[in-house]
Chain A
Amino acid sequence: MPAPSERVVVAMSGGVDSSVAAAILKESSLDVVGIGLRLVGSDEAPGERRSCCGIGAMDDARRVAEKLGIPFYVLNFEEVFRKAVVDYFVSSYLRAETPNPCIPCNEVVKFEELLRAARGLNAPFLATGHYARVTRDRDSGRRILERGTDRSKDQSYFLYSLSQEQLASAVFPLGEMEKKDTRELAACLGLKVHDKEESQDVCFVGAGGYRSFIEEYASGTWRTGPILDDSGAVLGTHGGLHNYTVGQRRGLGLSTREAMYVVDVDPVRNAVIVAPGSRVRGQERLLLERMNYVSIEKPGGPVEVTAVTRYRKPEVPATLLPLDGCRARVEFHAAQEPTAPGQSVVLYRGDEVVGGGVAARVEE
């Protein structure tokens, strides 16, 4: 944590959480500088207000900063956001993977580029409105990322890919707050944003939803193809692989007697593979790539953990087995519904984030 009167940059979206985060820092006598991130929207239609990236949100953030009496600037991160988040999001779907765009947004846009900008402003710390905590292990000296105290709001899942250096510069003022306290505090401080709606997960896709966003962004690069059953028989036609994710049941447009589930999305054959619920096999283990270890260094042997295979999904017991390079295997103690390739899997020990990685397409 920064010492009193030290400078800290706070990323302000105009929403309740980052506004209250800024207020808490200001109350702690820090030298707070608010930065709004312009991510999309210089070509945004007038009047359209997207959840957290648009110009309208920046006006809200500016009003909050004025109210708090802190300087506020909007910086343009459109280019890095497009490369690190939007391109990744779209290309993942086109590869038949299911990405978490918030993860590179935190890792690259906020804790790489915005942090660099903060350091340029003589601020060694970057604060965000995430519900997560960072502590320092006295023995190992490692920064430990922990779940937010409010388990229902915990956002440590979206932060698992931060490096030790990034965590050392991170400040999460809401880590020990309950969401209702955040709203109350916002109301007490007279912040007009206190009853604003929650922002959505994929902030940049707009009202049309992510499928039409992808179709527009990557127009011409996706094709229709067959929907096959697990024996290879053609059951129907799909409208592009980006419309499907493993485990999906709705929107398949099939007239089979039994409800069918997507069990695989195969970019090589440009095919969607489905099976009836009775034949969906549970997943016993999972290969993870791009592993990042947080509370521990890469271990020499198995570690007992709990695994979260999708944001807000309940954790399940598993064994982590480190592999060569940045890969690892997770063996679930009981078979699980399949995890879509591209999803981040975050591993916990109690409240602390052990590490995490991205589910690979093939299990070894």
Chain B
Amino acid sequence: MEKGVYLDHAATTPPRPEVLEVLEETLSATFGNASSIHSFGQEAKRVLEESREKAAAAIGAEPGEVIFTGGGTESDNLAVRGAAYALRDRGNHLITTAIEHPAVLNCCAALEEEGFQVTYLPVDRECRLEPARVVEAIRPETTLISVMFANNETGTIQPIAEVGEIARRKGVAFHSDAVQAVGKVPVDVNALGVDMLSMSAHKIYGPKGVGALYVRRGTALRPIVYGGHHEHNLRPGTENVGGIAAFARALELAVEELPGATEHLELLKEKLASGISERIERVSRNGRDGDCLPNILNMSFPGTDGEALLLNLDLLGIAVSTGSACSSGATEPSHVLLAMGLEPLMAQASLRFSFGRDNTVEHIDRVLQALPDIVNRLRKVGDSRAFR
């Protein structure tokens, strides 16, 4: 059998060799506890702090502003819940968008159960938040705004700098989930005016289970897990030095290679998008032209079902997604596509292709060879209720 074609890099990425090398090396040679006083501990501490410097440099931050966590979801939890609790005496109102990742949305839902109020801002047809909406939503008791950097299903980039400017003017803390954006587009925390920014290693060819939260100096934040005095008292637990070193290396490489990588990904994306439009009738593209990530393409194939398309492609060794991996298996159509105003059936008939550094033009050709027959067959067979 031919080797599989992996087009689901927004779900996760294969760790790259340079990163694996750092991971293995650190895990075996730098096993000390970074809190220990002896030389083994000091060595771990040194690697930890070097990694913090690298990670900070990648986003234009000070090393002291980077808190390593157990991944993107934990970073979002620390930011949203940690800030909401820390600022509770000032207000109980949060603002976010309807298209956030469940890591943010479900934090907000949990906070609502605890008496917080949350405004979920809508997006336009292109999946983009209108900054004026943020201004309208701010109340005296608003303490936090959380807007994702780029959407994980459509790739649409949000007007983060504008929202940052508004937040600063109004004196409201501002968090952005940049899990999909970091390493794909330039991210500079000062230019953006964010107070907190979530990152994850495994979306940029690093290991799973490690990420970071950028926390601007002076931002009010409370830990959400209690333990020792690690990570500026915000994230207790013996530091995952191997994972952190690997993450820092992955981040460093991604930022270094950004210009060339962007060009490569854009080329693949546009080749697939135009190839699909040429070969298959009645398809549409979801997202925004320009202002979007170079590696995510979301398209609708009306008259079919995304899950049926996914399974057919998988049987041919081609891996894609119907949205975020977390919602697979659920029957509900994507909350992101619905928020953009797509009809439920149209949202259900959508696929996300997300490209990576190992993808080639041949991979795109294989998809273009397979997809027309599959779409035609599904349109002929009719929609199965099972795929809904």
Interface residues of A in 282-337 (CB under 8 A from B): none
By the criterion CB–CB under 8 Å, are B308 and A117 in contact?
yes
Total interface residues in chain B, CB < 8 Å: 19
By the criterion CB–CB under 8 Å, are B387 and A75 in contact?
yes
Bound Cα distance A122, B375 (Å): 11
Residues on A with beta carbons closer than 8 Å to the beta carbon of B329: 74, 76
Interface residues of A in 19-49 (CB under 8 A from B): 33, 37
Residues on B with beta carbons closer than 8 Å to the beta carbon of A122: 312, 377
A77 at the interface (CB under 8 A from B): yes
Also in contact, A80 and B385, with CB within 8 A (given A120-B312, A121-B311, A121-B315): yes
Per a CB cutoff under 8 Å, which of B307, B312, B384 touches A116?
Answer: B384
A78 at the interface (CB under 8 A from B): yes
Per a CB cutoff under 8 Å, which of B314, B330, B387 touches A120?
Answer: B387
Q: Mark B36-76, 1 if CB is under 8 A from A, else 0.
A: 00000000000000000000000000000000000000000
Residues on A with beta carbons closer than 8 Å to the beta carbon of B305: 120
Which B residue sits closest to A115, measured CB to CB?
A: B384
Also in contact, A73 and B311, with CB within 8 A (given A117-B387, A120-B387): yes
By the criterion CB–CB under 8 Å, are A116 and B315 in contact?
no
Residues on A with beta carbons closer than 8 Å to the beta carbon of B190: none
Interface residues of B in 329-388 (CB under 8 A from A): 329-331, 377-378, 381-382, 384-388
Bound Cα distance A37, B385 (Å): 12
B116–chain A nearest beta-carbon distance, Å: 26
By the criterion CB–CB under 8 Å, are B314 and A116 in contact?
no
Residues on B with beta carbons closer than 8 Å to the beta carbon of A76: 329-331, 386, 388
By the criterion CB–CB under 8 Å, are B331 and A79 in contact?
yes
By the criterion CB–CB under 8 Å, are A121 and B386 in contact?
no
By the criterion CB–CB under 8 Å, are B315 and A75 in contact?
no
B325–chain A nearest beta-carbon distance, Å: 15
Q: Mark A108-129, 1 if CB is under 8 A from B, else 0.
A: 0000011011011110000000
Bound Cα distance A71, B384 (Å): 20
Which B residue sits closest to A77, measured CB to CB?
A: B386
Residues on B with beta carbons closer than 8 Å to the beta carbon of A71: 314-315
Q: Mark B299-319, 1 if CB is under 8 A from A, else 0.
A: 000000101100110110000
Residues on A with beta carbons closer than 8 Å to the beta carbon of B377: 119-120, 122
Residues on B with beta carbons closer than 8 Å to the beta carbon of A114: 386
Residues on B with beta carbons closer than 8 Å to the beta carbon of A79: 331, 385, 388
Which B residue sits closest to A31, measured CB to CB?
A: B315
Residues on A with beta carbons closer than 8 Å to the beta carbon of B387: 75, 117, 120
By the criterion CB–CB under 8 Å, are A113 and B385 in contact?
yes
Which B residue sits closest to A109, measured CB to CB?
A: B386
B190–chain A nearest beta-carbon distance, Å: 45
Bound Cα distance A33, B381 (Å): 18
Bound Cα distance A290, B51 (Å): 72
Residues on B with beta carbons closer than 8 Å to the beta carbon of A37: 386
Which A residue sits closest to B373, measured CB to CB?
A: A122
A192–chain B nearest beta-carbon distance, Å: 24
Residues on A with beta carbons closer than 8 Å to the beta carbon of B308: 117, 120-121
Residues on A with beta carbons closer than 8 Å to the beta carbon of B382: 116
Bound Cα distance A114, B385 (Å): 9
Which A residue sits closest to B305, measured CB to CB?
A: A120
Q: Mark A80-116, 1 if CB is under 8 A from B, else 0.
A: 1000000000000000000000000000000001101
Which A residue sits closest to B379, measured CB to CB?
A: A120
Bound Cα distance A75, B388 (Å): 9
By the criterion CB–CB under 8 Å, are B314 and A117 in contact?
no
Per a CB cutoff under 8 Å, which of A33, A74, A78, A80 touches B315?
Answer: A33
A5–chain B nearest beta-carbon distance, Å: 14
Residues on A with beta carbons closer than 8 Å to the beta carbon of B314: 71, 73
By the criterion CB–CB under 8 Å, are B312 and A113 in contact?
no
Residues on A with beta carbons closer than 8 Å to the beta carbon of B307: 75
Bound Cα distance A113, B386 (Å): 6
Bound Cα distance A71, B387 (Å): 17
By the criterion CB–CB under 8 Å, are A116 and B386 in contact?
yes
A86–chain B nearest beta-carbon distance, Å: 15
Interface residues of B in 70-129 (CB under 8 A from A): none
Which B residue sits closest to A83, measured CB to CB?
A: B385
Bound Cα distance A71, B381 (Å): 21
Residues on B with beta carbons closer than 8 Å to the beta carbon of A119: 377, 381
Bound Cα distance A324, B137 (Å): 67
Which A residue sits closest to B309, measured CB to CB?
A: A120
Bound Cα distance A74, B329 (Å): 8
By the criterion CB–CB under 8 Å, are A113 and B331 in contact?
no
Residues on A with beta carbons closer than 8 Å to the beta carbon of B330: 76
Bound Cα distance A226, B329 (Å): 47
B2–chain A nearest beta-carbon distance, Å: 15
Q: Mark A143-174, 1 if CB is under 8 A from B, else 0.
A: 00000000000000000000000000000000
A239–chain B nearest beta-carbon distance, Å: 36
Interface residues of B in 133-151 (CB under 8 A from A): none
Bound Cα distance A304, B194 (Å): 83
Residues on B with beta carbons closer than 8 Å to the beta carbon of A80: 385-386
B308–chain A nearest beta-carbon distance, Å: 5
B139–chain A nearest beta-carbon distance, Å: 36
A selection of 24 A-B contacts at a CB cut-off of 8 Å is: A33-B315, A73-B311, A75-B386, A75-B387, A76-B329, A76-B386, A77-B385, A77-B386, A78-B331, A79-B331, A80-B386, A114-B386, A116-B381, A117-B384, A117-B386, A117-B387, A119-B381, A120-B378, A120-B381, A120-B384, A120-B387, A121-B308, A121-B311, A122-B377
Please list the residues of chain B having a beta carbon within 8 angstroms of any beta carbon in chain A.
Answer: 305, 307-308, 311-312, 314-315, 329-331, 377-378, 381-382, 384-388
Nearest 5 CB-CB pairings of A with B: A116-B384, A117-B384, A119-B381, A75-B386, A120-B308
Known: A114-B386, A120-B377. 20 other contacts (CB 8 A): A33-B315, A73-B314, A74-B329, A75-B387, A76-B329, A76-B386, A76-B388, A79-B331, A79-B385, A79-B388, A80-B385, A80-B386, A113-B385, A116-B381, A116-B384, A117-B384, A119-B377, A121-B311, A121-B315, A122-B377
